[in-house]
A and B are shown apart, each in its own frame.
Chain A
Amino acid sequence: MSTLPRNQRLSATTLDFVWRQWSQLGIGRSTTERDAWAQDPEALLIFSLPIARTDPRLFDELLDWLRLNGRLISARRLSTLQPLADSERRLIQAAVAWGEAHATPPRTATSPRKAGGSPEPVFAGIRVSTPDPIFLAHGFSKPQSAPSGKSTSPDLASPIGLAFSLRELFGLASSRAEIIRFLLTTDQRVSRAAAIADAAGYTKRNVNETLSALVAAGLVERTAQGNSAAYSLDRERWLTFLDREACPLDRAWPSIYRALSAIARWQVDAANQELSDYLRASGAYDVIHATRKDVETAGIRVRSTHRAADAAGDLDQITNELLALLSAVPKHVSSTAGSPKLR
């Protein structure tokens, strides 16, 4: 068990995780690590950028990755999955716009509206003599930097790159790639449309229409489950088609990231405000309540907390379990081994 204070433990673990994920996806740091799971690119990007504000080198490498690989990122999913906080939303928009402007050739970027008021520093404690104009237009003060040029394209055959592989196959604008990724990696034998839509990051209506088309094409199977339909696919057949030996593992990434982000924000606020033990416990109670759905979707049981005095300990437990989900897992899981997932 780490002896770091809880907020530092969370930030250190998530920063290390983010470096590890993007290194496997092609940012400028070589790695021999190879996680066995499939990543959710948009959810990972939304999670990563605020974390990278504590590590300017990571932040600039993410921008360079977006410059080279931004065409693989779905603006629609970014919009669906993006955080509610205005500052984080603008940060993501600025990073995407930066990648589009520095691509070769430049991809079309929407003109950002001029932000009013004082710009918010992207990095605390770094003096900005020449601000980046794109970030400035989104209300941020960030030192201007040239693309590092170190990024490479993601390895489409890697487990972590499954989403990109399917997008190359089905196209970025369709929900097909996300639906197949979910059905291929989920640990459920069959899945309802609502669960598929949540994971896919598309509306239920869109997912229902796409599922119908996939069923009509014989690529997905529909079975009746009670009064509604459930969906599955033949994993062996799909793995052969995709030329993969094993199913990547699934994690409920959007839920895990949302929960960890909320906990991290609260830990920073609590530390900054020097709260009393009681207010810290009361705040922990709020966080547990606010993240309960995501934590449970991530496969972590949330016990019913009856009083604030128990909440701080419960939240520590939840945080530890969430962080454990970020730990490396075995590289290969057989496609015939029943459950391909560890949630």
Chain B
Amino acid sequence: MSTETITPRNLIPLLEALGEQLGQQAHHFGLVVVGGSALLALGLIDRTTLDVDVVALTTPSGLQSPEPLPAPLVLARDRVARDFAVTSDWLNTGPAGLLDFGLPDGFLARTTPVAFGAALTVHFASRVDQIHLKLYAMADQGAGRHENDLRALQPTPDELVAAARWTLTHDPSEPFLVVLHETLAHLGVVDVDLAT
């Protein structure tokens, strides 16, 4: 039954439905979304994705971990999943761990906030921050769709170097540094000093 993927065509209706369900419960949430769905929403890629990755919730005092997802949000998410026949974890907190070591400086200010009714605002990560996250994912998990997404963002060498330096704040280990250099080289950036 739950077989639908998230496409450029159904992403916005899904989020609108989520906003309406939250409105029915008289709750408001601000979500910070990264990954493929954020790239889709900003028109930076044109492919299907499996889910909407929530990295943080916005609160008056700043960003907050989305884990565990608040009960009203889970209820609304599950109803939308049922109504649109998508998998029940179509909205998930997979990248929430990124918040532990920090998002790139100025991340929230660079997001594109979109209101889906009065009860839901989604902050889509900016292109430059997605370059940071996609480079980290590519170095950490291998190429594939991450490489495709990263190339679709057409990063400059300077943007890749800045992103690489940020990834080292999450994993400063020597093995990761080696992989990171290899990844950068694969992307055409060689002989860079990441320490500065």
Contact = CB atoms under 8 A, between A and B. Distances in A.
Contacts of B21: 279, 282
Given A276-B20, A306-B1, A281 B83 contact: yes
Contact of A307 (B20, B79, B83): B83
Contacts of B82: 285, 308
A315 to B, nearest CB: 14
Nearest to B1: A306
Interface residues of B, number: 12
A282 B79 CA distance: 8
Nearest to A277: B20
Interface string A246-282: 0000000000000000000000000000001011011
Nearest to A289: B82
A282 B13 CA distance: 13
Interface in A292-343: 306-309
Given A279-B24, A282-B21, A282-B79, A307 B85 contact: yes
B12 to A, nearest CB: 12
A30 B79 CA distance: 50
Contacts of A309: 83
Q: What is the interface residue range for chain A against chain B?
A: 10 to 19
Interface of A: 276, 278-279, 281-282, 285, 306-309
Please name the 6 residue pairs, one residue from A and one from B, whose CB atoms are nearest each other, closest first: A308-B83, A307-B85, A282-B83, A306-B85, A279-B20, A278-B17
Interface string B70-113: 00000000010011110000000000000000000000000000
Given A278-B17, A308-B84, 18 more contacts: A278-B13, A278-B16, A278-B83, A279-B21, A279-B24, A282-B17, A282-B21, A282-B79, A282-B83, A285-B82, A285-B83, A306-B1, A306-B85, A307-B83, A307-B84, A307-B85, A308-B83, A309-B83
Contacts of B13: 278
18 contacts: A278-B16, A278-B17, A278-B20, A278-B83, A279-B21, A281-B83, A282-B21, A282-B79, A282-B83, A285-B82, A285-B83, A306-B1, A306-B85, A307-B83, A307-B84, A308-B83, A308-B84, A309-B83
A219 to B, nearest CB: 48
Most-contacted residue by chain B among A281, A282, A285 (CB, 10 A): A282
Nearest to A304: B1
A307 B13 CA distance: 13
Nearest to A282: B83
Interface in B17-34: 17, 20-21, 24
A119 to B, nearest CB: 27
A276 B13 CA distance: 13
Contacts of B24: 279
A282 B85 CA distance: 12
Contacts of A308: 82-84
Contacts of B84: 307-308
A306 B21 CA distance: 19
A94 to B, nearest CB: 32
Nearest to B17: A278
Contacts of B16: 278
Nearest to A306: B85
A288 B79 CA distance: 14
B27 to A, nearest CB: 15
A279 to B, nearest CB: 5
